[in-house]
Structure 1
Amino acid sequence: MEKSEIVGVLEEIAELLELKGENPFKVRAYQSGARALETLEEDLGAVIEEDRLGKIKGIGKALVEKITTLHETGELEYYDKLKASVPESMIELLTIPNLGPKKIKKLHDELGIDSVESLKAACEAGKVAEISGFGAKTEQKLLSGIANREAYQARHHWWKAASVAEPIVEGLRELPEVERAESAGSLRRMRETVGDLDFIVASTKPKPVMDWFVGLDTVSEVTAHGHTKSSVRFQDGLQADLRVVPPEQFAFALLHFTGSKDHNVRMRQRALERGWSLSEWGLFDKDSKPEDPDRKSVIAAETEEQIYAKLDMKWVPPELREDRGEIEAGETGDFPQLIEVEDIRGVFHNHTTASDGHNTLEEMTVAAEELGLEYLGIADHSKASFQASGLDEDRLAAQVEKIRALNASGKFKCHVFAGSEVDILKDGSLDFDDDVLATLDYVVASVHNALTLTEDEMTKRIIKAIENEHVTMLGHLTGRLLLRREPYAVNVGKVIDAAIANDTIIELNANPWRLDMDWRHWKNAVDKGLLCAINPDAHDTDGLALFVAGINVARKGWLEPKHILNTRPLAEVKQYFGVE
């Protein structure tokens, strides 16, 4: 088992122990052990082999044995038994915002709450507000969190949905009966979250295709198994529909089931204006009847491009099909040169084991170089983010010195920029003084606490930070965690205007949980002159590749390479940062 996975197990053990009301010192031992292991910059295997694990502060004899067992076997009987001793419904309570193990234990002891359902009932009855340490406001927050959770369960991150869909499309294309196969729906449009999956297949022999689909190993439930349409639910909860159409209808079906609903309405209107009726079956004379045996499509379209052309338009990229100006752009062909994955030269806002990352500076640099990146920006947390082991001034200075030495060594072609993700404090001031910020190549300013301020207070707080001359870019503007936490109240338009006025970048945080700033704001923002940086906010080496999720959002926001700092070569970025 890898180090990052072991850290996760230790953290979960601490949570489970806390849920059971175990000795706080025992809980803290696992928390400290997880943190000590997380910040270990050496190879864990070598440390274990050389019998040095027990010499690391925070890792006692019992933890040495457990970590070694996990590393060597990937299993731990103690963890399995502990997990089995806590009802799954209790563990689910941890998914409710503002509800940690201690509060869950108290709710269980005083009200017998052991599930999301029993928590909801107790809140609705006003019982939770009566418990010391909770109150009416907390009770309402819990009800809001439960409501959001219920709504979120119906949706999935694009990144997760794509990982499910891609092998299915590949499998469909390999079937001898299949001529063409594509994903459609919100996945193809690259929406940040996906409700279900839609697959469109061209075939004259649908039965074997349907049988293959419903027989997939990952299918937990078949809800429909028809001749031309089947529906299933996968083991991870995702639902999917497969439609098999004759080859001559494929382009029309793909266009229709890609959507969006609003885009389709506009397209049907264009067809009607020209005397036609557009549907998933074809483009027909508007006065013809579906039951007419002589009914034929106006065009035999093999591609979507041919359908758009017949309606006097250029093909619209799927990610733009949201009725936000793409119809008008299609009439003139005035589409942006949308950013591509290959345009990215480097990434900023990444974490190491110095704060809450899972890999060392060197490991992150190696991974960036393997991705073919010219530069890597490190931005570990500042001291106010104590929960993430934020760096104080001395630790930051030591890290900067280490980065400078790494660059000077010539060991890597990938240049490393020394930065910091500095907390924006409640009053809008920054977690480091200006003289400290001046030692850095770049600064990411982010909000991590006091998320319940009013819109006016939060907006003023962020704008004050933006006005600091040392702030290079603003991190995750709204603080949202998709399918987990709503954005805090903030006037996005005012923040954008302030960023432009102060030559401050707003990042597009590419972590699939964030994708923040939202794609709906980007087109107008860059038209006004805002500069973007697509940042993966990586906490491990694998996370560096998450910038691809940011590319999706950037494309939905009509962004071109010229709008994005990290499409520039290293020399230009150095010049922008004012470093040698």
Structure 2
Amino acid sequence: MDKKDIASILKDISVLLDLKGENPFKSKAYVNAARIIETVDIDLEQAVRDGTLDTIKGIGKGLAEKITEIILTGESAYYKELKSSFPEELLQLLDIPGLGPKKVKVLYEQLGIKTIGELEYACQENRLIGLPGFGQKSQTNILQGIEHLKKYRSRFLYPVALENAHLIMEYLRDDPKIGKIEVAGSLRRKMETVKDIDLLVSTKYPEEVSDKIAKFQQVETVIAKGDTKTSITLDSGINADLRVVTAEQFPYALHHFTGSKEHNTAMRARAKKSGYKMNEYGLFKEEKLVPCRDETAIFIELGLDYIPPELRENLGEIEAAEQKNLPVLIEEKDISGIFHVHTTFSDGSNTLEELVKACQQKGWKYIGISDHSKTAAYAGGLSIDQIYAQHESIDRLNSNNKKFQIFKGIESDILTNGDLDYPDNILEKFDFIIASVHSNFRMSKKDMTDRIIKALNNPHTTMLGHPTGRLLLSREAYELDMEEVLETAAAMNVMIEINSHPYRLDLDWREVIKAKDKGIMLSVNPDAHNIEGLDDFRYGVGIARKGWLSRDQILNCMDIQTCTTLLKRRKIQ
């Protein structure tokens, strides 16, 4: 083991001691020892053999023993013991500029933050502003530091990839040499996370288009460049493949580069069975190209209705298209209002009045306010007095505007024992209650399932919020028997939200399909903490589409009267 590795372990020990709140002189001794080890001009292994390690200035007997153990075994029992006291990912927070051990300790102890993703999510919910040693400026700086780190991830959230794809498309779109340009791949299928960006361009000038994309201002590296494909890395860290085809080839290529591997295999098998040959260059019958002006024509030629990109996963969509049994998928314009919105009463950035105005400007007819409940003290959870004050404000606004409805809600913590966060006489005052897990994620599968099942059986629970607790690219879903949860939700007529926050997208679209089949009503909720967050509903619509949902299966596609009736039906059940 070289000096650099030994010094690294000593520095980590110093950090871990700070995180534990040990005497600062003790942690400083390890930092000093690390510096000495890095710079001392002696053979450390020889010093161990000679027993002279503790004669080095700054290296006492205790430190000498620990360094000796590292040199002889390559490990440190003390280091392992300290590391076992904290989640493995916690030290990664120290990679963020401006975050030292003391601040990480506060984040861990007061907010339970263990990963970079959890920290970013907390910043977006303004949870750091009230912490000792933090403020608006430090929260903003942390978010900027996280953005820098994200450049080196291997996968990217859907909105991040989409934004980068749009930048490229805007750059290319006005070029007269380019005919059509479309997003393809997993991004077009609206997967929650993507590895890279696939773009398809039609042109008569492939070489010139390839040269142009290589000169895009946001390109950091040109990986490969040719007449049919150019691969680049953007300065955001994400890779993009630009495929260049003729106008005639475009429909076939778009279909080929959109579908999942499984969907494309099934489509080729169907084509072959019907006497066709199918690939990215065309659909051929007896070696002759079958002219198709768009993807719809390709599907029709193979005896199928058009299959929307989001469904092309080989999960029964081809059979449904053959039987003319595909659903009419929800569209963004179908959304009539929004639920799960936080205000300045808890951890939101905008007032109730500001959020109502923003919703009206979007053409929506209602909003469901759901600030945090009292147990979520870290998020400004509402006391009973604050609930009364908020309800008075809502009543006043509703009385002054008969064309827009504000529903009174709360995002109630599901406590460890499955209870909700207020007594019955308070819970009954709300129009709706979103029950969510916000703590104790590491319960056993049975205990977590029992916890949520009890909440679903509570007559006050209207819908289950972010059902699996996952944070994409950061925190795995907690262990849960989702089949039992869905069965109970269906039996108790409890709705389930599709949390549209790009870090959650929870319920997972695969489970959305199961919920749909059980007749469960779902709600596309932005979990918004500011006006900008209202627009996250779009990502939830994408997940709803992947889950085969039509507008009649989604609560907030209903008008005010129908919505009111559905919420009351649950309360009187």
TM-score if structure 2 supplies the norm length?
0.76
Query: Residues of 2 paired with 1:230 and 1:173: CA distance?
Result: 17
Query: Residues of 1 paired with 2:29 and 2:275: CA distance?
Result: 69
Tell me, yes or no, if the aligned pair for 1:177 and 1:206 is still in contact at 8 Å.
Answer: no
Query: Residues of 1 paired with 2:461 and 2:29: CA distance?
Result: 48
Tell me, yes or no, if the aligned pair for 2:230 and 2:242 is still in contact at 8 Å.
Answer: yes
% of aligned pairs identical? Answer: 42
Residue aligning to 1:310: 301
The counterpart of 1:393, out of the listed 377, 381, 384, is 384
Residue aligning to 2:199: 199
Residue aligning to 2:478: 488
Residue aligning to 2:214: 214
Residue 523 of structure 1: SS of its match in structure 2? helix
The letter for the 2-side match of 1:476 is H
The counterpart of 2:453, out of the listed 450, 453, 463, is 463
Please state how far the C-alpha of 1:195 moved relative to its aligned partner. 1.0
Query: Residues of 2 paired with 1:136 and 1:368: CA distance?
Result: 46
Tell me, yes or no, if the aligned pair for 1:422 and 1:430 is still in contact at 8 Å.
Answer: yes
Please state how far the C-alpha of 1:304 moved relative to its aligned partner. 1.3
Tell me, yes or no, if the aligned pair for 1:378 and 1:417 is still in contact at 8 Å.
Answer: yes
Please state how far the C-alpha of 1:533 moved relative to its aligned partner. 0.8
Please state how far the C-alpha of 1:202 moved relative to its aligned partner. 1.0
Residue 547 of structure 1: SS of its match in structure 2? helix
Please state how far the C-alpha of 1:418 moved relative to its aligned partner. 1.1
Query: Residues of 2 paired with 1:490 and 1:137: CA distance?
Result: 24
The letter for the 2-side match of 1:391 is L
The letter for the 1-side match of 2:84 is G
Tell me, yes or no, if the aligned pair for 2:223 and 2:233 is still in contact at 8 Å.
Answer: yes
Q: Over residues 180-239 of structure 1, what are the superposed CA-to-partner deviations in whole Å (9 max), with x where a residue is unaligned?
A: 111100111111111111111111111221122111111111111212211111111111
The letter for the 2-side match of 1:169 is M
- Correspondence 1:540 to 2:569: no
- Correspondence 1:355 to 2:341: no
Q: Which ranges in structure 1 are unaligned for 5 or more consecutive residues?
A: 1-88, 94-98, 115-121, 287-294
Query: Residues of 2 paired with 1:272 and 1:246: CA distance?
Result: 24
Query: Residues of 1 paired with 2:508 and 2:346: CA distance?
Result: 27
User: Do the aligned partners of residues 484 and 303 (structure 1) sit closer, same or farther apart at CA in structure 2, a change above 3 Å counting?
Assistant: same
- Correspondence 1:402 to 2:393: yes
Residue aligning to 1:61: none
Residue 247 of structure 1: SS of its match in structure 2? coil
Residue 352 of structure 1: SS of its match in structure 2? coil
The letter for the 2-side match of 1:491 is D
Residue aligning to 1:431: 421
Please state how far the C-alpha of 1:284 moved relative to its aligned partner. 3.3
Query: Residues of 2 paired with 1:492 and 1:100: CA distance?
Result: 40
User: Do the aligned partners of residues 260 and 493 (structure 1) sit closer, same or farther apart at CA in structure 2, a change above 3 Å counting?
Assistant: same
- Correspondence 1:563 to 2:553: yes
Please state how far the C-alpha of 1:382 moved relative to its aligned partner. 0.7
How many residues are paired up? 465
The within-5 A match list for 1:126-137 is: 130-132=80-82, 134-135=83-84
Deviates more, 1:545-554 or 1:99-108: 99-108
Residue aligning to 2:567: 577
Residue 566 of structure 1: SS of its match in structure 2? helix
Query: Residues of 1 paired with 2:78 and 2:259: CA distance?
Result: 44
- Correspondence 1:276 to 2:276: yes
Query: Residues of 1 paired with 2:75 and 2:228: CA distance?
Result: 49
User: Do the aligned partners of residues 219 and 110 (structure 1) sit closer, same or farther apart at CA in structure 2, a change above 3 Å counting?
Assistant: farther
The letter for the 2-side match of 1:420 is I
Please state how far the C-alpha of 1:296 moved relative to its aligned partner. 3.9
Please state how far the C-alpha of 1:348 moved relative to its aligned partner. 0.6
Please state how far the C-alpha of 1:360 moved relative to its aligned partner. 1.0
- Correspondence 1:502 to 2:492: yes
- Correspondence 1:366 to 2:357: yes
User: Do the aligned partners of residues 402 and 140 (structure 1) sit closer, same or farther apart at CA in structure 2, a change above 3 Å counting?
Assistant: closer
Please state how far the C-alpha of 1:544 moved relative to its aligned partner. 0.8
* Higher Cα Rg, which structure: 2
TM-score if structure 1 supplies the norm length?
0.75
The letter for the 1-side match of 2:518 is K
The letter for the 1-side match of 2:517 is D
Tell me, yes or no, if the aligned pair for 1:233 and 1:239 is still in contact at 8 Å.
Answer: yes
Please state how far the C-alpha of 1:254 moved relative to its aligned partner. 0.8
- Correspondence 1:325 to 2:325: no
Task: Give the alignment's Cα RMSD to 1 decimal.
Answer: 3.1
Query: Residues of 1 paired with 2:150 and 2:77: CA distance?
Result: 21
Tell me, yes or no, if the aligned pair for 1:376 and 1:416 is still in contact at 8 Å.
Answer: yes
Please state how far the C-alpha of 1:310 moved relative to its aligned partner. 2.0
Tell me, yes or no, if the aligned pair for 2:409 and 2:431 is still in contact at 8 Å.
Answer: yes
Residue aligning to 1:232: 232
Query: Residues of 2 paired with 1:300 and 1:402: CA distance?
Result: 62
Please state how far the C-alpha of 1:175 moved relative to its aligned partner. 1.2
Query: Residues of 2 paired with 1:203 and 1:273: CA distance?
Result: 33
The letter for the 1-side match of 2:529 is H
User: Do the aligned partners of residues 109 and 219 (structure 1) sit closer, same or farther apart at CA in structure 2, a change above 3 Å counting?
Assistant: farther
Residue 360 of structure 2: SS of its match in structure 1? helix
Q: Which ranges in structure 2 are unaligned for 5 or more consecutive residues?
A: 1-7, 35-69, 93-113, 119-148
Tell me, yes or no, if the aligned pair for 2:305 and 2:322 is still in contact at 8 Å.
Answer: yes
Query: Residues of 2 paired with 1:142 and 1:176: CA distance?
Result: 51
Query: Residues of 2 paired with 1:228 and 1:101: CA distance?
Result: 55
User: Do the aligned partners of residues 111 and 387 (structure 1) sit closer, same or farther apart at CA in structure 2, a change above 3 Å counting?
Assistant: farther
Residue 499 of structure 1: SS of its match in structure 2? helix
The letter for the 2-side match of 1:424 is I
Query: Residues of 1 paired with 2:17 and 2:382: CA distance?
Result: 25
User: Do the aligned partners of residues 125 and 153 (structure 1) sit closer, same or farther apart at CA in structure 2, a change above 3 Å counting?
Assistant: farther
Query: Residues of 2 paired with 1:347 and 1:339: CA distance?
Result: 15
Please state how far the C-alpha of 1:102 moved relative to its aligned partner. 4.2
Residue 348 of structure 2: SS of its match in structure 1? coil
Tell me, yes or no, if the aligned pair for 1:384 and 1:390 is still in contact at 8 Å.
Answer: yes
The counterpart of 1:377, out of the listed 354, 368, 375, is 368
Residue aligning to 1:443: 433
- Correspondence 1:190 to 2:181: no
User: Do the aligned partners of residues 281 and 452 (structure 1) sit closer, same or farther apart at CA in structure 2, a change above 3 Å counting?
Assistant: same
Please state how far the C-alpha of 1:112 moved relative to its aligned partner. 5.6
Residue 378 of structure 1: SS of its match in structure 2? strand
Deviates more, 1:216-225 or 1:470-479: 216-225
User: Do the aligned partners of residues 163 and 111 (structure 1) sit closer, same or farther apart at CA in structure 2, a change above 3 Å counting?
Assistant: farther
Tell me, yes or no, if the aligned pair for 2:18 and 2:27 is still in contact at 8 Å.
Answer: no
User: Do the aligned partners of residues 285 and 356 (structure 1) sit closer, same or farther apart at CA in structure 2, a change above 3 Å counting?
Assistant: same
Q: Over residues 390-410 of structure 1, what are the superposed CA-to-partner deviations in whole Å (9 max), with x where a residue is unaligned?
A: 111111121112111121133
Deviates more, 1:467-476 or 1:137-146: 137-146
Please state how far the C-alpha of 1:374 moved relative to its aligned partner. 0.3
Residue 220 of structure 1: SS of its match in structure 2? strand
